[in-house]
Amino acid sequence: MDIAGVLPLDVAGLAVVLWMALGLLGLALQRRPHLITNVIFPLGAIVSLVLAAAGLWAIGEHASYAVLPLGLPGLPLHLGLDPLSAFFLILLGGASLGVSLFSAGYFKSMQGNTLGLLCLEYHLFLAGMALVLLADDAYMFMVAWETMALSSYFLVTTDHNVPDIRKAGFLYLLIAHVGAIAILLSFGVMQGGHGIGAYTFAAMRAAHLSVFWSSVVFLLALFGFGAKAGLLPLHVWLPEAHPAAPSPVSALMSGIMLKTAIYGILRVTFDLLGAQQWWWGMLALALGLITAIYGVMFAAVQADMKRLLAYSSIENIGLLLVGIGLAIIFHVYGKDALAALSLTATLYHSLNHAFFKSLLFVGTGSILHATGERNMGRMGGLIHHMPWVAGLMLVGVLSISGLPPFNGFVSEWLLLQAFLLSPGLPNNYINMLIPVAAAVIALAAALAAYVMVKFYGIIFLGQPRGEAREPAHDAGMFERIGLSWLALVCVVLGLAPVFVVHQLDLVTQLLVGRGLGNAAAGWLFLAPVDIDRASYSPVFFLLAVLGVMLVTALVVHYFYHGRTRRGPAWDCGFPAQTSRMQDTAEGFGQPIRRIFEPFFRIESELPSAFDTHPRYHGRSEDRLWFALYVPIKRISEKLSSWVSLLQHGRIHLYLTYTFVTLIVLLAFV
Amino acid sequence: MMSTNQALGILFQIYQSLLVVLLAPLLTGWVNQCRAWLQNRTGPGVLQPYRTLRKLFHKDAVMAYNASPLFRTTPYILFGCMWLAAAIIPIIAVGLPFSPAADVIALVGVFALARVFIALAAMDIGTAFGTLGARREMLVSFLAEPALLMVFFTASLISHSTQLPRIVDALAHHQFILYPSLAFAGLAFVIVLLAENARIPVDNPSTHLELTMIHEAMILEYSARHLALVEWASSLKLFAYISIGIALFFPYGIAEAGDWRALPLAIIALLVKLILAGAALALLETLLAKMRIFRAPEFLGTAFLLAVLGLLIHFLLGA
């Protein structure tokens, strides 16, 4: 269907152009900051809506392609919009809609000139992500990828006066570029000397690589996109960059940008290479499992709320990669229905994570504004001061913990179903390993609930822990709208899985050649294989729980008096209650630190029994940082120190170098 | 139009729901009575939980000044979740019309939902014991929950379904085979049952020593009707877990779907099984000693490994 010759691709392209224009307009308006927050950001949110609509339209259509009259001579830029791109455009548009609305309220207090620049970078970042999804050749893809990386680097370093933030930004930039080089190389191998025109995705799809070279491509792509996604051991930038960035930016990076890396892996592995080797899947599965457990373990011991969420993102990326790995394995062994099921779970989880993680990250922004604190150990009792933020973030917390009837549960359910259907693969090793993988997934999911109880309980519940400060204020109107949108989508995605899975069929059709088909018995029951095998109906579930609750409440209040008195807390009659007797963030994570002790590098200072002002100090650090990154840093410093032997700062010496080089070169020519 | 069978099915679903909610405190009373006998005490009688509930419902609820709405709603959520869980486990007959809405993974999810809410409510007042209980509860559950899931997975792989009625059907109405994988799963399940229901050796339901409490520490701040609902929910949870055990490991005697004449026999079979299971639980609790809280992860880790082992054995032997 095309309306008056307009294709979804045109609409998506228009949205990208509009975002760029809005960014420039924001820069021009930097003397009038209230216009930027009250007009530009809401307009950006409307563009998000347009983009999401274009994606929804395109997902059921044939792929459309366009060649732009831009680029180098003879190397035009190609755009394409197929169901895979369309799905991720919906994700981008839907999640950024909420984040942009939230930003309209959040950035109100910012200085004009910083705000103007931020507005430009913010919208360029969005446009860059959209172009990554729309790119149909390696050239366009890399340009968009770099736009995304650089604009997000500048966004991370918005508060560049703080040295730690500059450091975090540098680390992010470095790892992003190491990854980008790997991606570039993988495209280079795929293009593989097929001539100058072979840089389009269509040409790469047609090129038949040998097993060796396609494995090289896969490994390079996994490394490159893994660096962006936060795959172990390339995850170190996430817990640094996310707390450094302003909260809406963290939301975009964690909720959406990480998914562009997932998009990249799916695009290269399934679309361009056609997933040929079972060990690719095993590698992705193993890496994903390690990443998931590692991420959630570290999330449990964090005290900084944004670092906690960053580690939780690492966990979720791990789960996504597990789904991808499983899909590769099934696809290689010709079980495409199961591959479609695992891919559906992966895509569904991408969508879910985009919404609940954005919700939680922007929520931390409101908390940050209200309290000026990132350390959860100084919060507490915020539910009384910020009921809106508390209520909406509860939805996010329940969703991310994978609890029915919210959305996180649906994707977890689908993924576990895929695991349960795995028997019967012709490879015995894989058959044995997959149940172990399922166990690890279950463990990660249960730990995620631990982390989220800690996150919500320490921040919002209990009594205020810090010193008396002015009472926290609730979020403003735009912030509330943004939060509400993200929470609403979490609920809808949880209650209407049948509809979503139908749409996802079109994507899996593209990737592995088939969908789940009759994924549902009626519109109420999600049944990916058949109704006898497994089914789940969140609507019935919700109605049952609510119905039972209502009946109980009515009965209790009808038969009994339902009187309530207020009094001081009981706490076993202990009179000298203070708020410091509650668990701090460190205290709540202590059992995890103790159980998984070998994984952490723990520094702690314990007070002696005679201290009059005892202070406890503990830090749990990442062993990988010390085992991997510190040596690399040392080696590179060593190498640079050798290079610096050449450097003396005297011009005649440098002229001599030039002269010698010329002589040597002449000898060769 | 609904067929007669469907209508009967819905009637039966309502019947089972009411049966479990009324019977659950009786089971708790029976376990307590057995414990009393084993400890050479007279015991308060099996009806004591009902008297406690009645007393609690009549009292005025006292809530801390800083209790939030979350604190007030949690008992209802807890009760709703546990009732739902107990109502969808097929223990009398296989055909339960509500069961396609929630399979075993969703059942684990229901328990998790209730647990997250009670842990949050425990942190709501901000007392030392509340957060301590919440932390310990989450500690116990992060190992118990995956173990339970793995137990279910073993049963699902045998029966090729995650629907509880199908699992029970497959296990009950086929020829009697001893599945080695189920033996491991059964052992793991017993450990999970003890841990999740706050029984010895992980927790002690009748403890009065604050420092060793887990579940009781979380609900310290509840009183009157809220406490009654929480206690009732605990009974329902115990009932649900024992039902799961019966459904997975001793399903024999359960009525076929639509076979209404087998019902009276099935109910008698159920009662016998419940009485035996309750007595066994009391015996187990009397024989075991409470362990230190930091031994609990090891204990539950054993359950998790046993469950995974069961799963692996299923893959190795195909049974």
Distance from CA of B273 to the nearest CA of A (A): 27
Does residue A425 contact residue A340 with C-beta atoms inside 8 Å? Answer: no
Report residue A657: phi and psi, to 5°.
-55, -50
3-class secondary structure, B173: coil
pLDDT at A470 (0 to 100): 64
Residue B277 contacts A where some CB pair is shorter than 8 Å: no
pLDDT at B188 (0 to 100): 93
Q: Which residues of A touch B166 (CB under 8 A)?
A: 532-533
> What DSSP letter does each residue of B222-242 carry, written as one string?
--HHHHHHHHHHHHHHHHHHH
CB contact under 8 A, B225 and A588: no
Rounded distance between C-alpha atoms, residue B124 and residue A462, angstroms: 5
Which of A403, A435, A588 has the CB atom closest to B312's CB atom? A435
CB contact under 8 A, A566 and B113: no
- Containing A655, the helix (H) or strand (E) segment is helix A651-668
Q: In the predicted model, is pLDDT for residue B37 greater than 80?
A: yes
pLDDT at A202 (0 to 100): 85
| Digit-coded pLDDT (tens) for A425-460 | 777 778 778 888 888 999 999 999 999 999 999 999
Residue B68 contacts A where some CB pair is shorter than 8 Å: yes
pLDDT at A448 (0 to 100): 94
A17-31, A231-245, A525-539, B14-28: least confident range: A525-539
Residue A392's Cβ-count burial label (10 Å; 0-12, 13-18, 19+) is buried
> What DSSP letter does each residue of A231-261 carry, written as one string?
-TTS-TTHHHHHHHS-HHHHHIIIIIIHHHH
CB contact under 8 A, A591 and B139: yes
Distance from CA of A96 to the nearest CA of B (A): 29
Residue type at position A428: N
Residue B225 contacts A where some CB pair is shorter than 8 Å: yes
| Digit-coded pLDDT (tens) for A488-498 | 999 999 998 88
Structure tokens at B106: 């969703």
A21-35, A619-633, B89-103: least confident range: B89-103
CB contact under 8 A, B112 and A394: no
Q: In the predicted model, is pLDDT for residue A540 greater than 60?
A: yes
- Which chain B residues in 111-130 lie under 8 Å from chain A, judged by CB atoms? 112-113, 115-116, 119-120, 123-130
CB contact under 8 A, B135 and A587: yes
Does residue B233 contact residue B78 with C-beta atoms inside 8 Å? Answer: yes
> What DSSP letter does each residue of B275-299 carry, written as one string?
HHHHHHHHHHHHHS-PPPGGGHHHH
Rounded distance between C-alpha atoms, residue A69 and residue A76, angstroms: 6
Residue type at position A666: L
Q: In the predicted model, is pLDDT for residue A184 greater than 50?
A: yes
CB contact under 8 A, B146 and A394: no
Between β-strands A525-526 and A520-521, what pairing exists: parallel, antiparallel or unpaired? Answer: antiparallel
Distance from CA of B129 to the nearest CA of A (A): 7
Which of B64, B77, B103 has the CB atom closest to A567's CB atom? B64
| Digit-coded pLDDT (tens) for B171-213 | 877 666 778 888 899 999 999 999 998 888 888 877 767 677 8
- Which chain B residues in 134-163 lie under 8 Å from chain A, judged by CB atoms? 134-136, 138-139, 141-143, 145-146, 149-150, 153, 156-157, 160-163
| Integer CA distances (angstroms), A213 to A103, A182, A590, B118, in order | 45, 14, 47, 54
| B100: nearest CA partner in chain A | A535
CB contact under 8 A, A566 and B64: yes
- Which chain B residues in 235-254 lie under 8 Å from chain A, judged by CB atoms? none
A128-142, A163-177, A599-613: least confident range: A599-613
Rounded distance between C-alpha atoms, residue B175 and residue B181, angstroms: 17
Q: Whole-number mean pLDDT of chain B? A: 86
Rounded distance between C-alpha atoms, residue A115 and residue A109, angstroms: 9
Q: Which residues of A touch B18 (CB under 8 A)?
A: none
Q: Which residues of B touch A412 (CB under 8 A)?
A: 105
CB contact under 8 A, B134 and A457: yes
Rounded distance between C-alpha atoms, residue B215 and residue B159, angstroms: 34
pLDDT at B3 (0 to 100): 67
Confidence band of B1 (pLDDT split at 50, 70, 90): very low
Which of A541, A546, A570 has the CB atom closest to B101's CB atom? A541
Q: Which residues of A touch B229 (CB under 8 A)?
A: 552, 556
Provide, rounded to the nearest whole percent, the portion of chain A with pLDDT above 70. 96
- Tokens 């099996």 appear where? B46
| B136: nearest CA partner in chain A | A591
Which of A521, A534, A579 has the CB atom closest to B163's CB atom? A534
Q: Which residues of A touch B101 (CB under 8 A)?
A: 525, 535-537, 540-541, 544
Size of interface A-B (CB pairs under 8 A): 265
Confidence band of A469 (pLDDT split at 50, 70, 90): low
| Integer CA distances (angstroms), A407 to A402, A495, A525, in order | 7, 7, 15
User: What is the Cα gyration radius of chain B?
Assistant: 19
Picking from B107, B127, B227, B294 by the largest number of A CB atoms within 10 A of its own CB, the best residue to mutate is B127
> What DSSP letter does each residue of A572-621 carry, written as one string?
GG-S---GGGS--HHHHHHHHHHHTGGGEEEEEE---TT-SS---EEEEE
pLDDT at A664 (0 to 100): 92
- Tokens 């201290």 appear where? A611
CB contact under 8 A, B123 and A461: yes
A136-145, A372-381, A606-615, A637-646: least confident range: A606-615
Mean pLDDT over B33-41 rounds to 91
| Digit-coded pLDDT (tens) for A260-310 | 999 999 999 998 888 778 899 999 999 999 999 999 999 999 889 999 999
Residue B58 contacts A where some CB pair is shorter than 8 Å: yes
CB contact under 8 A, B68 and A384: yes
Residue B110 contacts A where some CB pair is shorter than 8 Å: yes
Q: In the predicted model, is pLDDT for residue B318 greater than 80?
A: no
Q: Which residues of A touch B124 (CB under 8 A)?
A: 383, 461-462
Q: In the predicted model, is pLDDT for residue A599 greater than 90?
A: no
Q: Whole-number mean pLDDT of chain A? A: 87
CB contact under 8 A, B116 and A438: no
CB contact under 8 A, B157 and A420: yes
Q: Which residues of A touch B66 (CB under 8 A)?
A: 381, 384, 463, 569
Does residue A446 contact residue B141 with C-beta atoms inside 8 Å? Answer: yes
Q: Answer with the residue of higher pLDDT: A149 or B2.
A: A149
Q: Answer with the residue of higher pLDDT: A529 or A130.
A: A130
Report which of A528, A520, A413, A502 is spatially closest to residue A87, judged by C-alpha positions: A502
Residue B319 contacts A where some CB pair is shorter than 8 Å: no
- Containing A70, the helix (H) or strand (E) segment is strand A64-72
Q: Which residues of A touch B65 (CB under 8 A)?
A: 566-569
Residue B101 contacts A where some CB pair is shorter than 8 Å: yes
CB contact under 8 A, A461 and B124: yes
Distance from CA of A405 to the nearest CA of B (A): 9
3-class secondary structure, A379: coil
CB contact under 8 A, B153 and A435: yes
Q: In the predicted model, is pLDDT for residue A652 greater than 60?
A: yes
Which of B64, B102, B166 has the CB atom closest to A569's CB atom? B64
Q: In the predicted model, is pLDDT for residue B162 greater than 50?
A: yes
CB contact under 8 A, A431 and B125: no
Residue B296 contacts A where some CB pair is shorter than 8 Å: no
**Residues in Cβ contact with A149 at an 8 Å cutoff, skipping those fewer than 6 apart:** A173, A176, A177, A180
Rounded distance between C-alpha atoms, residue A342 and residue A333, angstroms: 14
Distance from CA of A13 to the nearest CA of B (A): 42
Cis geometry, peptide bond prior to residue A83 (ω within 30 degrees of 0): no
Residue B14 contacts A where some CB pair is shorter than 8 Å: no
Rounded distance between C-alpha atoms, residue A66 and residue A87, angstroms: 19
Residue B311 contacts A where some CB pair is shorter than 8 Å: yes
CB contact under 8 A, B98 and A540: yes
Structure tokens at B287: 């024989």
| Digit-coded pLDDT (tens) for A383-415 | 888 899 999 999 999 999 999 889 999 999 999
Q: Which residues of B touch A549 (CB under 8 A)?
A: 76-77, 79-80
What ipTM does the predicted assembly reach?
A: 0.93
Mean pLDDT over A69-80 rounds to 82
pLDDT at A294 (0 to 100): 92
